[in-house]
Amino acid sequence: MSTPVNLNQFRKQKARAEKRARANENAVKFGRSKAEKVLDKARTEKSDRDLDGKKRE
């Protein structure tokens, strides 16, 4: 005879693996690196400064 398998643990492990796979897909699809985020923030701040510098009173 083989050893018994706890079906609850098996089901939970399968759910965790599916969730982890879905998270990895989303990270590839939507994720940005820290360098990209910093560069985007710097560009936004620069454009805001430039726009504020051209305001008339």
Q: What confidence tens digit (pLDDT) does each residue in 6-39 have? A: 999 999 999 999 999 999 999 988 888 889 999 9
pLDDT of residue 48: 95
Q: What is the pTM (predicted TM-score) of this model?
A: 0.53
- Rounded to whole angstroms, the Cα distance separating 18 from 10 reads 12
Q: Which two tokens stand for residue 41?
A: 């923030």
pLDDT of residue 17: 98
Locate the domains of the chain by residue range.
7-53
pLDDT of residue 2: 87
